[in-house]
Structure 1
Amino acid sequence: MNDIYQAVTDRIIASLETGTPPWIIPWTDHTALPSNLATGKPYRGINILMLSIEAMSRGYGDSRWVTLKQANELGAKVRKGEHGTSIVFFKFKEVEEEKDNGFTEASEEPKRVVPMLRSYTVFNTSQLEFLPERFELRGTPAWQPIGEAEQLLYASGAVIRHGGNRAFYSPSEDMIRLPPPAWFPDSDDYYAVALHELTHWTGHPQRLNRMLGKRHGIDAYAYEELVAEMGAAFLCAYCGLPARLEHASYIDHWLDALKRDKRLIFVAAGAAQKAADYALGVAQVAPSPADALAA
C-alpha cells in the first residue's frame, strides 16, 4: 500500500456504500472479536473493521487469523491460491528537528516521536489446511451472551432507567434511558441498544471526556454516533451478541466526511476502542450482581 490511510478508508467507504457497516461483526463461531490464532489476542480498533469487511466479502465464519509464518509454525499451510488480508499497526520512530539551514544537528533535547503506519498480511483460519485438530472449532460457547451483557451493564455502575419509547444517554443527568425490555423484539436487541448507550456514557467528562465539537470536518453528533456505533459493536462482539446498526440516518454524513478526510476512521475507531476498553475495564474490577446480593 502506497497510502495505507487512503487504502483503508476506501475499503470502509465501499462497505458503507453497500449499506452494511463493517462494524456489524459477521462471526458465527462465537469467539467474539477477531483474534490471532497463535497468540489468542484479539485485534483492536481499525483492524477489527478491516477483518470484518474481509470476512463478509469472502464469507468467513471463523474469527481467527494468522500470519504466514505463524501458520507454518503451528504446522498448518495456507492453501494454494489463497490471498491474505492487509491489516495495520503503528511503528513509532524518533526524529530530530531540522534546523533552518536544512541540516539536522545532534542535540541533547528529547527527540520527537512520530507514529508511522505500517501494514502486514494475515490469513483467516478458513484459508488453512493441515491445521492441527486442537485448533478446530467445536461445541458451543461456555459463556451466556445475555449474562455477559447484563454483567457488563451492571458492573459499569451506569444509572439506567426504563420508561418511555426512546433510548438515549443524557449527559446532563449522566443517565441512560431505555424503553422497557419487553418492548424490544428480543433480548439481543435490548442489549445491543443498551451497549450503544453505554458507549455514549463512557464519553462523560468524569470518564473519557470525549469532547463534542466539529471533528475532522464532521458534525459533532455524527462523529459521536460513529464512535458509539463501533464501540457498541466491539462490546457486543465481546459478549457474543450480534451488533446492529442504530443510526442508519448518519451513513451519508459518515461517507461524506470519510471521503474528505482519510484519517477520520482511524481516529474514530481509536476512540471506540478506548470506550470499549473503559467499559470492560470497569466491569473486570466490579462485583457481579450475584456477588453484590451475597455481600
Structure 2
Amino acid sequence: MRKSSTTHTTANTGTERADLYQTVTDAILAELELGLKPWRRPWRTTGAGFPLRHTGQPYRGINTLVLWMAMCAHRYTSPYFMTYRQAQELGGQVRKGETATTVTYSDTIRRVEETPDGEEEERRIWFLKSYAVFNAGQIDGLPERYHPASDPAEAAPVQRIEAAERFFTDTGADIRPGGQRAFYTPNLDYIRMPAIADFIYPEAYYATLAHEMGHWTGHPSRLNRETITRRHSEEARAVEEILAELTAAFTCASLGIDHDLRQDSTAYIGSWLRVLASDKRFIFVAAAHAQRACDYLWSLQPEEHQISGAAAE
C-alpha cells in the first residue's frame, strides 16, 4: 500500500543558505519595527510595478518583496534584476564591489521510501534554493532598455483609475457603497466601501478595495483560505491581515496603483511583528498565498484584459 505525505526541507547547504528564511524574515521585521511596510512599492517604478527578470518577466511572491526592499534601500531606478552570467551574456559587467541580492526558487520532488512495516510511502519533498541577482543599475554596458529614464508605457492616472474600476467590477464581487469604514463580511460575503469621494486620492480608494478583495478571495467558495474562516482568533486575524495586505500590494502593482496610499494598516504592525517573529517561514508562505489570491483575481478578468507573466516565479 502506498501512502503520501509532504516533507519540508531546505536543499541548500551551508549556514548562510540554511538561514535564508531567517535572513528574509529579519529584514522584514526590521522594516516593520521602524513603522514601515516592506511590501510598499518603490518610490518610482516602471510598467506594472513589479521587479523584472532580464527577459521582462516579473518576479513573484517572496521575491517581489525582497526585490522591492532592495530597490528602496539602494534607490535603484531600474526594475531589472539578473544574474552575473545573464549580465555578461547581454554584454554587461557587474561593477567591482557591488553586492548582490539573494532571491529564491522553490519546488517539490517526489520520492518513494519504504516504511518500517514494509509499506511504500510516497513523499513530496519541498525544497528551497537561492541565487544571486544584481540590479541593472549595478551593471555597466547593458543595452539601454535596461536603464529606462522614464516609463513611456505607464498609463496616465485617469486611465489607471478606469482600468482599476473595470478590474474590480469584472471580479463579480458584491461591493456595497456607503458608511465610513471599509470591510469584508465573510458570513454574508460582501464588501462595504465608503464613497470614492471620501478618499483624499481616487487611487487610495482602489488600494483599500484591493485589500478587502484580498479577504474576499479567501471565502470557502473561492480559495477556501482557513484564516478567513477563523477570524475570531487574534493570530488568525493578524495572519489574514498580512495576506490581504500582500494581495493588495501585488494587485495594485499589477494595476499601476500606489498601494502605499492606504495608511490604516499601520494599526496592525504590532500583531504582524508577533506572527513573523514566531515563524521564520511564515512570510514565504504568506507571499505564496497572496500571489495565488492576486492570480485568482486576474483569472476572473475577460481574456482580453489578462496580464502576461502569470507563470513566473
Q: Corresponding residue for 2:134? A: 123
Find the partner of 1:148 among 163, 171, 180: 163
Tell me the TM-score normalised to structure 2 length.
Answer: 0.83
Q: Corresponding residue for 2:175? A: 160
Q: Corresponding residue for 2:289? A: 271
Structure 2 spans left out of the alignment, 5+ residues: 1-15, 307-313
Q: Corresponding residue for 2:267? A: 249
Deviation at 1:28, TM superposition (A): 1.2
Q: Corresponding residue for 1:32? A: 48
Q: Return the letter of the residue paired with 1:126.
A: G
Q: How does 1:66-215 map to 2 (within 5 A)?
A: 66-97=82-113, 99-100=115-116, 109=120, 111-137=122-148, 138-143=150-155, 144-212=159-227
Conserved in 2, the CA contact under 8 Å of 1:171 and 1:204?
yes
Structure 1 spans left out of the alignment, 5+ residues: 289-295
Deviation at 1:145, TM superposition (A): 2.0
Secondary structure of the equivalent of 1:81? coil
Distance verdict in 2 for CA 1:206–1:27, change over 3 Å:
same
Q: Return the letter of the residue paired with 1:250.
A: Y
Distance verdict in 2 for CA 1:186–1:267, change over 3 Å:
same
Deviation at 1:214, TM superposition (A): 6.6
Distance verdict in 2 for CA 1:139–1:99, change over 3 Å:
closer
Distance 1:254 1:274 in 2: 20
Conserved in 2, the CA contact under 8 Å of 1:155 and 1:287?
no
* 2:236 matches 1:224: no
Conserved in 2, the CA contact under 8 Å of 1:34 and 1:65?
no
Secondary structure of the equivalent of 1:219? helix
Deviation at 1:78, TM superposition (A): 1.3
Secondary structure of the equivalent of 2:301? helix
Distance 1:203 1:116 in 2: 26
Q: Return the letter of the residue paired with 2:131.
A: Y
Tell me the TM-score normalised to structure 1 length.
Answer: 0.87
After superposition, the C-alpha distances for 1:95-120 in whole angstroms (9 at most, x for unaligned) are 4436549xxx9x8x464120111110
RMSD of aligned alpha carbons: 2.4
Count of aligned residue pairs for this structure pair? 282
After superposition, the C-alpha distances for 1:129-188 in whole angstroms (9 at most, x for unaligned) are 111124341443353321221121011111111111010111122111111111100111
After superposition, the C-alpha distances for 1:211-253 in whole angstroms (9 at most, x for unaligned) are 13679x9711111100000100001111111112442121111
Q: Corresponding residue for 2:9? A: none
Distance 1:110 1:158 in 2: 43
